[in-house]
Copies of this chain bind each other. A is one copy, B any other.
Amino acid sequence: MYGQFPLDAPGEGFGLLQPAGATPPATANRLAIVLFSGTIDKLMSASIMATGAAAMGMDVEIFLTNWGALAFRKGDHRANKRVSASYADYQSVLLEQMAAKHVSSWMENLEGAKEIGNVHIAACSHTMTLFDLELSDLEPIVDEVTGVAAFIERARDSAMTLYI
């Protein structure tokens, strides 16, 4: 993976893929998400955005980085009760309300989104190298490991991009 995205020399690792100032392609009906966070409030939010977009006929491209990638480690999602630290005082209320309302989990939402639409989930190679992870360490819902260039290629002609 170092060959794809060397951690010690990110600039050289990319090469110039196209000339500077080139015209970007026309906008595609796609939602691109950088999923940086691994708290269940943000994972839930991302999964709902992805589900909504898929139901509206949009392609969805999700790029898992940092804590977002760690949240997809096998089995992690069943134990994850992490809530954004800024709202730690709401953690028990959130968990109780989600249980009381029988809210489907963020993982179930993403599985549902994949069933109804074209949803592609990639984990960031930089993050995977940093935390010594392989694709086989992640839940099967993750399609592949890619570099940031591959994500940007997909995101820059997307109708909508969110950094979550």
Place the interface of chain A in its size category.
35 or more
> Quick one: which of A53-100 are within 8 Å of B by CB?
53-59, 65-67, 70, 82-88, 90, 93, 97-98
Query: Could you say which residues of chain B place their CB within 8 Å of the CB of A155?
Result: 160
Which of B8, B14, B20, B52 is close to A103, meaning CB atoms less than 8 Å apart?
A: B8
Determine how many copies of this chain the complex contains.
3
Q: Are B45 and A14 in contact (CB under 8 A)?
A: no
CB closest chain-B residue, reference A42: B36
Query: Chain B residues with Cβ under 8 A from A3's Cβ?
Result: none
Provide the bound-state CA to CA distance between A133 and B58, in Å. 30
| CB <8 Å contact, B101 and A7 | yes
